[in-house]
Amino acid sequence: MNGNVMIKEYYQVIKKEQVARIENSNLHHVEMNQVNQTTLRLFLNGKVGLAKAEGQYDDLELEKSAFQNVKEGPSYLAEPTSNQQIEIVYNYMIAKGTDFVADMRDFVDTLKKLFPVISFRNYIQLTDHAYQLFNNNGVFLSYQDHFLDMNVCFEYMRNGVTNTGCFLFRGRRYEKETFLTYLSSLFEACLRPYLPIPDSPLPIIISTQDRGFFSPLISLLSGDHYRENPSRFSTMQNNTAYHPSFSFYQSNDPEIHFIPFFDAEAVVNPNFRVALIQDGKVVTPYTNKEIALSTGLPLTGSSRDVWGAMPVLSLQAFDVRSTHQSLTDILQGGHGLLLHQLHYEQNPDSEWLTAKADHVYLTDGKTIFGLLPPVTISVPWREIFSDRLKGVTTEPIVPFSNQFGVVFDAISCQW
């Protein structure tokens, strides 16, 4: 970077949220939340001056503040991105009606009528957000989105004990009847007696968006591990360590996720994603500009913004490649265990992945037959995505969501 050229780079986040609160199965009130944050990074002489503003701001004052901070600012030896302009806008109609609150009140009221013995709480949120990154180096990147975020918790009694579950959904499409059909199958299973424990192990089904399940893999692939000793990665690179059908991507694909298609250093990948594992072979860890520059590793553009500070390394979202099968096809006509509400044993040094699932639904891929008792699963995490992988669904396991099903076999279950 030419240290004599001053580059001004702005990162802006604007969010508007309508939050409908649910208490005792009633939609009580709506909160309006708003965030408007700007970070200015001023690159000069290999240093970065930082300044931040909330809401409306005076650009000259912000620049003055950043300039005063250059001398004591962090070093930055990478080249700021240049000459890139992309704008993506999503503005789908979330529901058939035009009134978000009325639509969601009708949805909650219907759930209450259908399941009077279940108590519902928590929130449903409508989010409008916009992210922009631009500089005087020819960059203008802009992403706007509009989506529904549901976190509807439900409580019911079983043998005198209160049980709790949550329906989590994030998406740009809402159809009341589809959601009611899906939730009814789960709630009806919860209200019936437990099914008998299977005589033999069954495949388990996990959401591809269950970050906890993928956390050991995410940790392994962090470029931070190879910052001081990049040669460590050479022992892994291009080795077939996983099932040949397993591909794992860092993803900023706005069709699937609800984050900007660019990272906080204005890196945009072709097709908005990059393979970290391809056909079972480890390709690269995820990196930001600093790590890529200091280690020689490929730049994956995995930096997350921090208001008023330098970006940090973060795998914000990921995709697992589908094996182009339905859940029924992956189960091959048999049954599987759909695990909800998993609680993970947090031990970063353990070679085992251990988790307890509060809700275990028996399914053939089309029908929910009932609920089994809570179960604890345990498996050496390095084996999860090798021989134990059966497939990844081509259709979401939650309607209109980005939650696909990944199916594993031969995983130990303790009932």
Delineate the domains of the chain, giving CATH numbers in brackets. 7-191 (3.30.2290.10), 204-211+322-414 (no CATH), 227-314 (no CATH)
pLDDT of 97 strictly over 60: no
**pLDDT, tens digit (0-9, with 9 covering 90-100), for 111-140:** 999 999 999 999 999 999 999 999 999 999
b/e per residue 15-53 (b: at least 16 CB within 10 A):
eebbebebeebebeebeeeeeebbbbbbbbeebbbbbbb
Radius of gyration of the chain (CA): 24
**pLDDT, tens digit (0-9, with 9 covering 90-100), for 134-163:** 999 999 999 999 999 999 999 999 989 999
Q: How far is CA 414 from the centre of its chain?
A: 28
- SS3 for 348? coil
Place of tokens 């424990």: 197
**How far is it, in rounded angstroms, from Cα 44 to Cα 3?**
5
DSSP state of 274: E
**pLDDT, tens digit (0-9, with 9 covering 90-100), for 238-290:** 888 999 999 999 999 999 999 999 999 999 999 999 999 999 999 999 999 99
pLDDT of 366 strictly over 90: yes
Residues, the chain, total?
A: 415
